[in-house]
Structure 1
Amino acid sequence: MKAMASVVSSLNSFPERMPRVAGMLGALISESQFDFWAREFGSITAWRRVFARVQSLRMEGAETLSIELRPNRNFQSAEPGQHVNVSVEIDGRLCNRSYSLSRPAEGGCVSISVRREPGGLVSNYIHDHLRVGDVLELSQPYGELVEGLAGAPTQLFLAAGSGITAIYNLIAEQARRGEALRGELWYWEKQVERFCFTEELDALCQTHPQFSVRRFCNAGDSSSLYSTGRLSPEVAAPLCERYLNASVFACGGSAFVGAARELFSDVAGGFYAEAFSPPQRLGEAVAEERFFEVSLTRSGQTIAVSSQQSLLDALEEAGHQPPHGCRMGICNSCSCGQRSGESQNQLNGEQLRGAGSVRLCVSRANSNIELDI
């Protein structure tokens, strides 16, 4: 144990030694054993997994908590507008959710912002229990929203609700790089107290005279600081004229992003969007409930699943813990191999017959199937 403590201490001080040490230890200790003992000694060093220590906590508005994290050396560089999956153990169960990176990466740290959702298991746990010094496990960053920034002299940003986290990161990163901001941000919230990054955005407007922010709120305040109205053809008409052939970025719920796409995709020089909303509940799409068998080829087990539940829900009810993230069919963390049978993606209706890759969180069984789990 003393020898292991010495190794972990050395890697904490000199993380660049990890690849060489891993090669030497490979014949003596497994990856999971190394990660376990590293955590026991209070280190975030890991063989390949990404662990991050909480550096600071800060409220953004009334319901959003920004978390500054220092990940270990396994974390790859992140781009603005990307997401990470966050793993949290709650009552002995490992839960995963996807959150946008919300501030430019600086000094080896990254930030995420988590909005408290009514009934949200992970968001409420994070708000109520997370403390400075705690350790979270992260995925590698993913998402391609940043691709639209290159060579875009004029930009229109559209954000609704927690969609502001990714959009703010895109804007702030450009300012951090010393680039001039030219364009507008239109930002919708349901209540005034939910607006995030208010001071930072107002400061950017002061230092970048060709950039402006317009906030929309339909309840709780009659102040001239806030406009009213949803994203509609009437509201968007002046934007369509001003930003003809410009780059348009939209982030929010599926309905909001769908409206933005319909309004701007034909007039914009480029339309870039990320949507997040829980998909239609699978049971609502199936009139008659049926039951099928799902054979798990790795474990040798067989479980019964309903045609009115997702494969992920069925597996979790049976005591399995397959990897997952957003639970909305976006991040692909839950994708696994299907060897035989038929499943159906409830977001787009596509059916997978035979072998292929299936997203467990948004797919249901249409027959007996085999999964590579």
Structure 2
Amino acid sequence: MGLFTAPVPGTNFGINTPIIQINQYPEWDVTVALALYFTGLGGMLMAITAAMEFTGKYQSLVKKNSIFAFIFTLLALIFFDIHLGNPTRGFFAPINALPQMIHSWMARGIEFVGGLLVFSFLFMVLKVLNSKNAIANWTLAILGLITGIFSTTYSGFELSAATGIPFWNNGALPALFLASGTVGGAAWTYIMSLVTKGEEGIRARRLSAKLLMYSAVAELATWFLFMANVNFIYVFDEVAYEYMITSATFILDLVLISLAFVIPGISNLMLWRSSRASPQLILDFPSYIKYAILVIAILALIAGYYTRAEILFAGQYAYQVAPLTPFQFTSNQPIPIGSFGWKS
């Protein structure tokens, strides 16, 4: 490893400042991976729920989903708080982030997630109170849709812009996180459809199973896009790539996402063939298929965490252990940990 150094976090700059080698710099841990996971899950669940609100056909399911979209977004902020360790400063982070939005994806992310928390809460309140105010419902649904999508993708833009960790510097990350978040949102929507009665529940199961299938294909495609864009000019990338593709959790992630395509795909094909014989009826999945897709939906939720964790930890692992080769190009400054003085 090179002899690049950085000030020890929490100390002042100056001639007597203690320093550490760059490969001893603090890492983002599992709490950050969980925060990114719940941000994507809450964001895309809110986006899917907003789209269902526009159709007017899924009022019961929209109410259920709105509650969990808020809960998942709240969990994301709780995990960020646990990692950063200063909730009081975290409360003021959206204000402190405003001047930084022009040049910082971390600042943009704080605004997007903060907005998602507010809009998902207000939308949930309207749904729980059975509000009939179409203007208010649609306005908050649109705002929730926008902040949900950008909350899901901002972390991909943030990591891809982090040139201090070469493995993250990959333009496919936003698309990968968007596809993964959509898989999670579709999986949770399917779970909620099982406790939704009547024709609405049947339509919701069919719709969410299709969305799960298509988004799983999108995630597999963007995983391969990410791997195809790994720049092996950096020795860090080679170490991170080998570490990631040989890990059991990465293999498990791909297997689970593949199942999220195959099982709902076959189930939808079977239902489509049955529907051709009785086009006037809205057919539901047979019981054994319902619960098979339920298992797949739960596994897809687990895979969503691994998607973010593998990227996060592989990049940091390589930066900690990879030796510098002659003429190796790298930044002599590590990425900052925390944001706007939030880190205690």
Please say which structure displays the higher CA radius of gyration. Answer: 1
TM-score band, normalised by shorter chain: under 0.3
- TM-score for the superposition, normalised by structure 1: 0.23
- TM-score for the superposition, normalised by structure 2: 0.24
Instruction: Say which structure is richer in strand.
Output: 1
Q: Relative CO higher for 1 or 2, CA cutoff 8 Å, sep ≥ 6?
A: 2
